Structure 1
């Protein structure tokens, strides 16, 4: 009250001086405040552009296999050079004619909007530039309040001070909402026209440019009349701006537009268990958080071979047809790199997302024997080492417990068999005797060399695969044999880039020589015996039922327990593991149940490698080939009815000739010459 009294009593000159003084203070404060705001914006630097974008997964051939987005919002970032020029011109013409000239704000539009708001007594008209709209899309809500406007202005200043006009325009066109869950021009072009953003006609471009003003009201799918009126306004604006000629605008107006309404591709149906494994790798190994996956617009390039994946799924679907409850898992990898080419974790992802290929642990049965026999090679065994196969009861170290393993269907040779036969026929007695002779702790140590990380126990039955392992784990371990003794880790992801193509991660391949190259090759040769009926004895080789389907050199081993059926094998360029069984551990009784894994493996390997080069396993220099009689593992003679080429490390090959079928004339001559040489040297030494 006192202030107004003093003002009332003041002279005219005093009032003028007072107004000038406080006017200057107010103006100076405004200028200083504005300068301070500019300095603050400059000091804070460029704002982080956290734009929600769709993350895309790609197969090894570049095809898209999956997407990760937020709440069914489709967002793709494309560079400005890949956006049609008509889209750019139409957007600037209708949204912000002075975009290239102003510094984030258009004073004339702001003045006009303020006047309209004052007349209406409410916030009714917008004057936002493209820069302001981009700031709003990035950082703020869309509520119409003065507080939000001030925040928007500050973000706009930061954008304009830190980014070029092209960068701002690119960001705006990639974030603006075009309706129907489509954010950004690329997503809109795909949804409405089934095209990319750089392949639009003038009619299509101007129709899309009109949608952001009211995505529902101006959607040509919901309200084609409204959309056409908005398009006419845009075309007229472009003519007035000198961007197009009137005749061109009339042609675009008459253009018949076809809306494809391209729904989100059902890419989740492509290798869903493989995608699950990729997601686990992203989170657990590469430490990429959920927000980055849902909002980051990443491009994730995987190792999946779409053809091999299709063969795997087709094979499983067509080989298991009589049993709805039985489950399966398949993993196929390139043993040279670790790249996972195909993966199936169950028969139906929608019914059960439990990924048996990487989550389940099951007893591997006789597929564990190759690790035992590699250990035996390290301790003096050769493929010809004989051990008697007969019913045997083993007394344990406590002097009380007994262990009595059995062969399949209680069949035994009741005679000596070689290690080559023991592996091919899957003789359990030979395996347990070998494990006990070497010491079970050695097998545990060897398995760890191959990359088996599941808990194991130094027990006699470990030789028969009594401890559970994973399908991926076991398949990768077999890859060590195929890769000449080198171990690689399973690879699902080769590269990750951001939305602008910047490489965020690139796989660096490496391998470790964990076992001897020569012995690895000898083991590979032993596992080819799984399919070689020359090794038949008291029973057939375990791969005899599928040998007829194989058309190239392959090595492998089957295995079974009362509840599990396995087949793991490889060529030089592909190693595959297959498991079949019931989730609840139900026993496998049906002959089909126990044979599924072999048939799936054989059909998959042949289908996956169709039209691929037929490669032979590389023979190291330290290995020699010898022709033997497979019944006793000795050098074959002309009298042996069956012979087989077998491989040995140099210095371990057999030197004795087979005498089971009589001595051939050729061998007699060699023996005679040897005796003559001995006699000659004996006479010299005697003299």
Structure 2
């Protein structure tokens, strides 16, 4: 009996030693495995916190005008911009030991396991904030062992490489609150119409309860369930010494206003402009579509909301609702190229094609100021004379004859000055100038003015037969308005990433490319289309809008069979307007041909309502003299019309007009005595 007992003890000892040895081996392997996991996590370094977020677009006054649309609302804010009540409520209900554990609450995990075993079902969760954040960032929400193991690994990486503040900030910016709202800021805007930093204790405690199950605890799904959950959260906040019991009771009794609406849900403000901004982000900043849509960018633009409203309203009011004619408008600040307003069509929902930046249309006579600037550089002056008459141009190189015509086939049948030719939009004068300078001159000048479309060096180029973009024509006229400095259209002033770091800031400066004196001379010539003193064989082309103008503008209209244009400027703003049919259909009605001018003048007047009245100030190197518009010579007192005209210093006329001196009668006698003969009669005779 004794021998058998000893044998049992020896046998039990063997088992015990085996168990101890195996346990030590298992423990050692576990330690090695854990150490390996930790080392591997350390080697991998911090996991990227690339969270999809909505990109916001701002007007120049900081107003949000739109955002990227992917069905989800995500706005990243700093932890300091989230109400402390929401921070404390979230920690209290989700993970009260958040600041003391290293990613896992093992006591809580054990309790959850016991509860699940007793219920024979999954009834209690034990995930910490760090674990939930890891799941939100990197994993799907399926319930598998593989996903759980990955969650553990990512949690370790987060805890090893990021501070508790960074983890908490990330969690509060990524947790789903239902209704398409991801993060505290989006949820706060949706439920209460306010920023997350402004949430009260009552609002914060309601919001903190939603992530447990938006379909159950959202106040929009069930206010009763939401308030029951709110009470639990407030009690935990009291138990965890975040608030006093009295504050909890006050919060429970505080009436709440639930909005239930996302801000800026529709692309209502300047949709064509916003499309152009997105395109600029791709072409100029080289950002891809995903970054633009989900990168959480803050894009600050040049849009002026008042000018944009004026532009859209004017187009809508001027063009008949039943007309198929389309319109495009671009308004810019000529000093820096900032685009203040853009209309790319009459209805974005019907046609998102942006005619302001995408369409290439014939500019007609609006190209002539570029031609005449080149002429000024080559010795022409506002008083340069050429004959206006029906003309057939024949060429020696085998090209076909060219016979341009003036509007309504009207001609001076005599000499006219360049300034009058511009005001009356005389085509013969323009083609003669073009051919005299050499057809490549206008091609090169157009490039100098920033036009990027191809220009064909043909006689008809002087009449605007090569297509251009509306935005580039507005930019070209900016050079006249700003004294000859080259600018480029600017849509974006600054771009920030979701951390608030500036990743782009517009810094281009205007570059002098034109002679300031000739630029000013050109501007003064362009005021002529609104000056009846330059009427000749026909009226100045801006006559129909003169009565609508309350200040001095410079500009030029233009038309082809299929296009109608008006481009003009003050020292403070330049705008270009195009109207026509998309398919190049001929504009037949007279009223339709006047749309561009009427839209332009009414928009410019609205855009300048709050701006001081500024004229075009003469610059150094220019001289202003009174001339007879008919012949460009210095005017005398006897000239029936005289107009102040500016020239580059040294090019002003020196010869006086004599057309009205030779046939003057003697002045009547005064006080019974014959008047003394004027000096010009003594010189020239009767």
Tell me whether the two structures share a fold, i.e. TM-score over 0.5.
yes
Residue 197 of structure 2 aligns to a residue in which SS? coil
Instruction: After TM superposition, list the pairs within 5 Å mapping 1:550-569 onto structure 2.
Output: 550-569=549-568
> How much has 1:633 moved relative to structure 2?
0.5
Segment drifting more, 53-62 vs 242-251: 242-251
User: How well do the aligned residues superpose, as a CA RMSD in angstroms?
Assistant: 1.8
Q: 1:565 to 1:623 in 2, by over 3 A?
A: same
> How much has 1:553 moved relative to structure 2?
1.9
**Residues 1:174 and 2:173 are matched in the alignment:** yes
Q: Which residue of 2 aligns with 1:18?
A: 18
**Residues 1:529 and 2:550 are matched in the alignment:** no
Q: 1:430 to 1:51 in 2, by over 3 A?
A: same
Aligned residues of 2:337 and 2:489 also touching (Cα < 8 A): yes
In the aligned structure 2, how far is the partner of 1:509 from the partner of 1:284? 16
Q: Which residue of 1 aligns with 2:539?
A: 540
Q: 1:353 to 1:69 in 2, by over 3 A?
A: closer
Aligned length: 664
Aligned residues of 1:344 and 1:357 also touching (Cα < 8 A): yes
Residue 417 of structure 1 aligns to a residue in which SS? strand
Aligned residues of 1:435 and 1:463 also touching (Cα < 8 A): yes
Q: Which residue of 1 aligns with 2:350?
A: 351
Cα shift readout 1:519-545 (whole Å, capped 9, x = no counterpart): 111111110111111000100000111
In the aligned structure 1, how far is the partner of 2:249 from the partner of 2:678? 99
Segment drifting more, 248-257 vs 266-275: 248-257
TM-score (ref. length: structure 1): 0.94
In the aligned structure 2, how far is the partner of 1:16 from the partner of 1:142? 43
Q: Which residue of 2 aligns with 1:477?
A: 476
Q: Which residue of 2 aligns with 1:658?
A: 657
Cα shift readout 1:574-621 (whole Å, capped 9, x = no counterpart): 111000000011111111111000010001111001120222224221
Query: Structure 2, unaligned stretches of length 5 or more?
Result: 1-7, 665-676
Segment drifting more, 38-47 vs 97-106: 38-47
Q: Which residue of 1 aligns with 2:63?
A: 63
Query: Structure 1, unaligned stretches of length 5 or more?
Result: 1-7, 673-687
Q: Which residue of 2 aligns with 1:680?
A: none
Q: Which residue of 1 aligns with 2:672?
A: none
Instruction: After TM superposition, list the pairs within 5 Å mapping 1:319-338 onto structure 2.
Output: 319-321=318-320, 323-338=322-337
Q: Which residue of 1 aligns with 2:47?
A: 47
Residue 578 of structure 2 aligns to a residue in which SS? strand
Residue 229 of structure 2 aligns to a residue in which SS? helix
**Residues 1:102 and 2:101 are matched in the alignment:** yes
Q: Which residue of 2 aligns with 1:507?
A: 506
Residue 566 of structure 2 aligns to a residue in which SS? strand
Segment drifting more, 661-670 vs 412-421: 661-670
Q: Which residue of 2 aligns with 1:141?
A: 140
Q: Which residue of 1 aligns with 2:218?
A: 219
In the aligned structure 2, how far is the partner of 1:522 from the partner of 1:618? 11
> How much has 1:445 moved relative to structure 2?
1.2
> How much has 1:337 moved relative to structure 2?
0.5
Aligned residues of 1:637 and 1:667 also touching (Cα < 8 A): no
Cα shift readout 1:361-389 (whole Å, capped 9, x = no counterpart): 11111101111111111211110011011
Cα shift readout 1:270-292 (whole Å, capped 9, x = no counterpart): 10110111111111221111111
Q: Which residue of 2 aligns with 1:88?
A: 87
Q: Which residue of 2 aligns with 1:455?
A: 454
Aligned residues of 2:661 and 2:680 also touching (Cα < 8 A): no
Cα shift readout 1:633-676 (whole Å, capped 9, x = no counterpart): 0011111111111111111110100011006977649979xxxx
TM-score (ref. length: structure 2): 0.94
Cα shift readout 1:87-116 (whole Å, capped 9, x = no counterpart): 111111111110111111101011122333
Q: Which residue of 2 aligns with 1:251?
A: 250
Aligned residues of 2:65 and 2:264 also touching (Cα < 8 A): no
In the aligned structure 1, how far is the partner of 2:398 from the partner of 2:244? 102
Cα shift readout 1:182-238 (whole Å, capped 9, x = no counterpart): 111111111111121122222211111111011111111112222122111111111
Cα shift readout 1:387-441 (whole Å, capped 9, x = no counterpart): 0111111112335721111110011111100000000000011111111122111
> How much has 1:323 moved relative to structure 2?
3.9
In the aligned structure 2, how far is the partner of 1:180 from the partner of 1:588? 50
Residue 142 of structure 1 aligns to a residue in which SS? coil
Segment drifting more, 235-244 vs 104-113: 235-244
Aligned residues of 1:638 and 1:666 also touching (Cα < 8 A): no
Which consecutive segments of 4 or more residues in structure 1 shift more than 4 A? 118-124, 663-667, 669-672
